[in-house]
């Protein structure tokens, strides 16, 4: 199909929506390292994981072999409220940049939760309901995951307890109120409501919190409350599996129009959005069927891939969760209170960490003010106010497009626009007032966090 027939927005029909999630682990020669029991340092069994997670989700977490896993009909019916999501050709941005590059973005902000997080929230809530549970607990950073989970739990009549990173709780009161509108209880973390929260507050008085802190509190509540399980919005294998619907839809739309991306870019905090977007393309690369350049973009203030170490570490600050092998800054690392709350996690998905270690993708870190400059530029020409997290991907997409302007190359660039920034106006205000700063941790700062890595 000729290029002039490619529309601004490519929408798939409902009948074209994926019926299966794609499990990239099945095509990985080197599988992600298993989760370890923090006490015995032995691989976690299904029975042990079942004390924290839903039974069906444990099966998905441990499944390294099945390439395709069927999406239950009830989940697909829920997806139809906002999926398939559009693949957008950024014609306006291309024209503004005067670049020969062709820029596309997969837009996941077209639902009330405002992000891609709903793709996994409904799946995890569905399996909790199927198991007959009363409710679930979770953490949230910027609030997109907590919002998505509260929506899913409301739909399925499940109780939802959310521990929200304290700095985001204070910076984003309206995100908090959306969660409460959907019936969730929202607690700023670290809090006095849990033993681990009280311990963290004693060690770090006045702390603004971190995802690692919030995870610890949510896990404690889940394991001490009958009929509850813990669910996580990123990092885990099962979450990347659910988010693969992003990439499968994207590839289906591109194949329909004969489009092949050269560069695929995603922001990276724990890995759910990046992992979901790249999954089927990465599968082709792993199978030797095609080649792509994959770029993970993270904040310079929390640079787990670019400055972390690849080692087993606790997934949470309170050290109550299993050990995961990942690129990490140390579970005790508490990043500065930057405005990309969803990217303030000390580690990275084990799947993405293994792919990065094996050289299948690269990583770049970017500073906060540079990210907001890109966000503002994008908003002015494409008409969507992007979330700070997604704006990391926008930053690198613009950079790559400008390289094409210099070289004359007509590369095709794809990135994930995973959320909207309408609850992030406090951050935009700081940027516009010239009050936003760039914090980059020193090597000494990072040493302090890495000193706490478990030794065994």
Greater pLDDT, 38 or 92: 92
* pLDDT for res 347: 94
* pLDDT for res 10: 97
Q: Is 363 left (phi over 0), alpha (psi -120 to 50) or beta?
A: beta
Q: How many CA atoms lie within 13 A of 129 on its CB side?
A: 18
Helical (H) or strand (E) element with 107: strand 102-107
What is the chain's mean pLDDT, rounded? 94
Backbone angles phi, psi at 299, to 5 degrees: -70, 140
Cα–Cα distance between 428 and 177 in angstroms, integer?
20
C-alpha closest to that of 178 among 208, 149, 215 = 149
* pLDDT for res 112: 82
* pLDDT for res 1: 43
Are 147 and 117 spatial neighbours (Cβ–Cβ below 8 Å)? Answer: yes
Residue 319 has what DSSP assignment?
S
Q: How many CA atoms lie within 13 A of 375 on its CB side?
A: 30
Instruction: For the chain, give the longest Cα–Cα distance.
Output: 63
Tens digit of pLDDT for each residue in 192-231?
Answer: 999 999 999 999 998 988 888 898 999 999 999 999 999 9
Task: Say if residue 2's pLDDT is above 60.
Answer: no
Percent of the chain predicted with pLDDT > 70: 98
Ordered DSSP codes for 29-94: SSPPPPPB-TTT-SBPPHHHHTTTS-HHHHHHHH--S-SEEEPPHHHHHHHTTT-SPPEEE-HHHH
Cα–Cα distance between 144 and 178 in angstroms, integer?
10
Tens digit of pLDDT for each residue in 286-298?
Answer: 999 999 999 999 9
Tens digit of pLDDT for each residue in 36-84?
Answer: 999 999 999 999 999 989 999 999 999 999 999 999 999 999 999 999 9
Instruction: Give the three-class secondary structure for 163.
Output: strand
Task: Say if residue 30's pLDDT is above 90.
Answer: yes
């Amino acid at each position: 199909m000729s290029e002039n027939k490619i529309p601004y927005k490519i929408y798939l029909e409902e009948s074209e929506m994926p019926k299966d999630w794609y499990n990239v682990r099945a095509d990985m020669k080197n599988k992600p390292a298993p989760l370890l029991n923090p006490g015995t340092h032995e691989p976690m069994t299904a029975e042990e994981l079942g004390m924290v997670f839903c039974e069906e989700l444990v099966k998905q977490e441990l499944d390294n072999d099945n390439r395709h896993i069927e999406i239950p009909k009830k989940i697909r019916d829920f997806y139809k409220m906002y999926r398939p999501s559009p693949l957008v050709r950024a014609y306006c941005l291309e024209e503004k940049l005067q670049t020969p590059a062709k820029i596309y973005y997969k837009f996941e902000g077209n639902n009330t939760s405002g992000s891609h997080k709903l793709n996994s929230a409904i799946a995890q809530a569905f399996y909790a309901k199927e198991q007959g549970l009363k409710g679930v607990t979770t953490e949230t950073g910027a609030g997109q995951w907590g919002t998505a989970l509260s929506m899913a739990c409301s739909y399925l009549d499940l109780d939802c307890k959310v521990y929200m990173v304290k700095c985001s709780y204070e910076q984003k009161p309206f995100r908090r109120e959306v969660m409460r509108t959907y019936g969730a209880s929202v607690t700023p973390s670290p809090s006095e409501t849990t033993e681990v929260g009280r311990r963290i507050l004693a060690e770090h008085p006045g702390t603004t919190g971190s995802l690692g802190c919030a995870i610890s509190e949510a896990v404690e509540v889940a394991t001490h409350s009958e009929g509850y399980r813990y669910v996580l919005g990123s990092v885990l294998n099962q979450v990347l599996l659910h988010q693969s619907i992003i990439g499968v839809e994207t590839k289906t739309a591109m194949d329909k129009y004969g489009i092949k991306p050269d560069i695929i870019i995603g922001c990276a905090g724990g890995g759910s959005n990046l992992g979901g977007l790249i999954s089927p393309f990465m599968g082709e690369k792993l199978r030797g069927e095609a080649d792509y350049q994959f770029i993970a973009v993270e904040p310079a203030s929390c640079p787990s891939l670019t400055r972390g170490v690849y080692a087993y570490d606790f997934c949470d600050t309170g050290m109550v969760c299993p050990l995961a092998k990942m690129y990490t800054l140390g579970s005790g690392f508490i990043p500065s209170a930057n405005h990309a709350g969803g990217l303030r996690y000390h580690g990275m998905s084990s799947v993405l960490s293994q792919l990065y270690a094996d050289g299948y993708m690269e990583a770049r870190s970017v500073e906060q003010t540079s990210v907001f400059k890109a966000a503002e530029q994008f908003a002015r020409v494409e008409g969507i106010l992007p979330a700070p997290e997604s704006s990391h991907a926008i930053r690198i997409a613009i950079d790559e497009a400008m390289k094409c302007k210099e070289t004359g190359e007509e590369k095709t660039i794809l990135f994930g626009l995973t959320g909207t920034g309408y609850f992030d106006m406090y951050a935009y205000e700081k940027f516009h007032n010239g009050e936003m700063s760039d914090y980059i941790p020193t090597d000494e700062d990072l040493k302090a966090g890495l000193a706490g890595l478990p030794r065994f």
